[in-house]
Every structure is written in structure tokens, then in C-alpha cells.
């Protein structure tokens, strides 16, 4: 019953989780909407086929797809070729023969954006051992160009954009202003209320992951409550970002869309509503944002 607006099913399988069992469980849970997110050049067919195989050759109707380029250093360095691969994926995504009709109802470009934890002077040396999302790059100009290319590709196709923005508020907003495409979501929200205001004023949605379940101190709980309450109800989304950002009480384990119930329950408590009502609201918001136009 709980929509997940941002998950990486192939990444979950890469961590050893049984994808077939997960898909069966999600179907049993009557999941209304799940968006499988692209991150690499040309990964769309691989992701679709992996889910097809795990589901016995029939795509679950609740699964939908995006295609996008995460700001990885290697992709930024080869961004012209990466964009060629992405444009080919986007053409496939929008082709009526690529997916069953139900799975074509909702689609997006992403995730894409800026990550100044891994990229730029403070992050270029992180991940050199292969850990995390690194290695990064010092080429922040190239990073911003890749993001702008994707915003322009989304505008040309009238697609919503799933934006990754980490330690990069000013630069992210600057790229969006420059291109002038304001249909999408800032996923995995990590900023405050003043930053939220800047994106909301431009028409963006904001999505919260499992870290809303982590707070133990009253000050942190008050901050999360204020953030959730600040976002207009019709712009609010929830996500897992699975296999990352596992909600409490399962931190330390691989995250899956099945665990998103903990995020809904925590967010609903902060908002003073039932988890069931919040589930209906988020599913409606997801369908409105990601509906194919």
C-alpha cells in the first residue's frame, strides 16, 4: 500500500538480495507505485530485463522507470558519450514498444544533479579505494554541464526530473535557473527550510527518505517535523533510495522498498495524520508528477 518514488532495484540485487522474492512481497503488499531509478549510461535495458527475469517474464504493473546519469567522475569526464547513451535510453523509455502500457504511464529523467561531497576540492579524493560513490572529480564545471544537459533533455521531452543535490544547494539552484525547467523532485532531501522555500517557489516537489526515522534527540525531531510540515501536502513525496538510507529499526541492513512502511509511519506521526492517509496522498502526488504527458 506504500508508494516508493525512488529505488534502485538492480543495486538491491547486487547486494545479494533475492529480487524475485522482493517483487512477490511487494505485489502481496499491494504497492501502488514504485519508480526504478537510472544512474548510468545505457542501463535502462539491463534494469528492465533484470526485473523481467526476476518476475517470471511479466513486469509488475506498479513498476515504472526513469533514465538518468548520476554525477560520477568517470561519467562527467565522458559526458558527451554519456549523453548519447542517455538520449538513446530516453527514446526507448518513451517508445510504445519498449514497455507494457501500464509501465509506461509514469516516467522521468534521473537521477541527475550535483554532489559536492564526492566532487570538487573537498571530495575528489574520497572513494579512491572503490568505496562509496567515488571516486570524485575536481571538474565541477563539467559536473554542472552534465546536469544542464539533462535538464535540457527533460525539457525537450516534457519529462519530470529527479534531482540529486548533496552539499550543492547554490549550484543546483543555479543550474535549474539557467535552464529554466522546473518540473520534478529534489530527492533525498538534505537541506533546511530556507532551501526548501527556494525550490518550492519554483514548483518543485521534495522527497524524504528513511533518515526521517533516525532522529533520537528532541532538537532533531523538531527540525524534521518543521521540514515535513513546511512542504505543501501536494508536493510531498517519500522514498527509500534503496538499497541505501535504511530506516530505523533496520539500520545497518540493506534497504528495500518493503521497509518503506517505517518511513511512512514516522512521517505520518510528524504530520499528525495516519500512515494510511499519508500513503494515499503520496501515491496521488507521485502519479501527478510522473504521469506521462
6 among the known binding-site residues? Answer: yes
Give the rounded distance of the alpha carbon of 118 from its chain centre. Answer: 18
DSSP 8-state secondary structure symbol assigned to residue 124: T
Three cell numbers written together for 79: 559526458
Q: Is 241 annotated as a binding residue?
A: yes
Which cell numbers hold the place of 168?
Answer: 550543492
Pairing, β 205-208 against β 184-186: parallel
Strand partners, 3: none
The grid coordinates of residue 4 equal 516508493
Cβ atoms of 258 and 26 closer than 8 Å: yes
Residues 6+ apart with CB under 8 A from 183: 154, 158, 159, 160, 161, 203, 289
CB burial class (10 A; 0-12, 13-18, 19+) of residue 237?
A: buried
Closest CA to 153 of 199, 198, 89: 89
CA distance 254 to 148: 32
Residue with cell 505485489: 27
- Is 187 one of the annotated binding-site residues? yes
Question: Considering just the CA atoms, what is the radius of gyration of the chain in Å?
Answer: 18
Determine if residue 262 is labeled as part of a ligand binding site: no
Residues annotated within a binding site: 6, 8, 111, 164, 187, 241
Residues annotated within a binding site for a divalent metal cation: 6, 8, 111, 164, 187, 241
Amino acid at each position: 500500500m506504500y508508494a516508493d518514488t525512488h529505488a534502485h532495484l538492480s543495486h538491491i540485487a547486487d547486494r545479494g538480495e533475492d529480487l524475485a522474492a522482493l517483487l512477490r512481497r511487494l505485489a502481496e503488499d499491494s504497492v501502488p507505485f514504485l519508480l526504478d531509478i537510472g544512474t548510468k549510461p545505457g542501463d535502462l535495458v539491463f534494469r528492465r530485463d533484470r526485473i523481467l527475469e526476476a518476475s517470471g517474464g511479466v513486469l509488475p504493473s506498479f513498476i515504472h522507470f526513469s533514465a538518468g546519469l548520476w554525477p560520477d567522475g568517470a561519467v562527467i569526464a565522458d559526458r558527451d558519450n554519456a549523453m548519447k547513451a542517455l538520449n538513446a535510453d530516453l527514446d526507448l523509455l518513451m517508445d510504445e514498444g519498449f514497455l507494457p502500457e501500464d509501465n509506461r504511464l509514469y516516467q522521468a529523467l534521473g537521477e541527475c544533479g550535483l554532489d559536492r561531497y564526492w566532487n570538487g576540492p573537498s571530495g575528489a579524493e574520497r572513494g579512491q579505494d572503490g568505496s562509496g560513490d567515488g571516486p570524485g572529480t575536481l571538474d565541477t564545471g563539467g559536473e554542472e554541464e552534465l546536469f544542464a544537459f539533462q535538464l535540457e533533455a527533460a525539457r525537450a521531452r516534457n519529462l519530470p526530473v529527479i534531482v540529486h543535490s548533496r552539499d550543492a544547494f547554490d549550484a543546483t539552484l543555479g543550474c535549474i535557473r539557467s535552464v529554466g525547467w522546473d518540473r520534478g523532485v529534489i530527492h533525498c532531501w538534505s537541506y533546511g527550510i530556507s532551501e526548501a522555500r527556494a525550490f518550492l517557489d519554483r514548483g518543485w516537489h521534495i522527497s524524504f527518505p528513511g533518515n526521517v526515522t533516525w532522529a533520537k534527540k528532541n532538537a532533531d525531531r523538531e527540525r524534521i517535523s518543521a521540514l515535513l510540515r513546511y512542504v505543501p501536502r501536494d508536493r510531498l513525496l517519500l522514498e527509500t533510495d534503496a538499497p541505501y538510507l535504511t530506516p530505523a529499526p533496520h539500520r545497518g541492513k540493506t534497504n528495500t522498498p518493503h521497509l518503506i512502511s517505517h518511513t511512512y509511519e514516522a512521517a505520518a506521526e510528524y504530520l499528525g495524520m495516519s500512515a494510511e492517509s499519508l500513503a494515499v496522498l503520496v501515491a496521488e502526488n507521485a502519479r501527478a508528477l510522473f504521469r506521462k504527458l
